[in-house]
Amino acid sequence: MNRQNIKKIFRIGGFVIFFLIVVGYALFNSYGFIQGPQIIIDEPENGSTFTTSSISIRGRAIRTSDISLNGKSIVLDETGRFSATTLLFPGYNALTLETRDKYARKKEYRLEFIYEVD
């Protein structure tokens, strides 16, 4: 190999490394956009049975700008945690948590509970 071929290999190798870094950086920064909003429910467990009519739903919202429970807005703290209290009707109850991100994409989470009256 002569000197010009070695320079050409280094030039192409440098371009490939630069290109891979740019693509990796773009993928890393677009992760939130690709994943969309997410809700993690800490308590209560979906499908739980209760003997009291009032329950508190606690969890964490990730990549979320707005969250609501059955259409009623919920306040998020600075870490994305939320807590909402709601009343259950006797028997089967279905609640809907809806979240939107800053790109106006939304996801709905359905929570189902049973309230057993004594």
Kindly list the averaged pLDDT for each block of 10 residues, start to end, along the chain of length 118: 81 90 88 82 91 92 90 90 92 93 88 89
pTM of structure: 0.69
Q: Give dist(CA 44, CA 56) in Å, integer.
A: 8
How long, in residues, is the chain? Answer: 118
118: three-class secondary structure by DSSP: coil
Integer-rounded Cα Rg, in Å, for the chain is 24
Q: Give dist(CA 2, CA 41) in Å, integer.
A: 64
Please give the pLDDT value at position 104: 84
Instruction: Quickly count: other Cβ atoms within 10 Å of residue 51's Cβ.
Output: 9
Please give the pLDDT value at position 5: 81
Report yes or no: 33 and 103 within 8 Å, Cβ to Cβ: yes
Please give the pLDDT value at position 117: 84
Helix (H) or strand (E) holding 50: strand 49-50
Please give the pLDDT value at position 9: 86
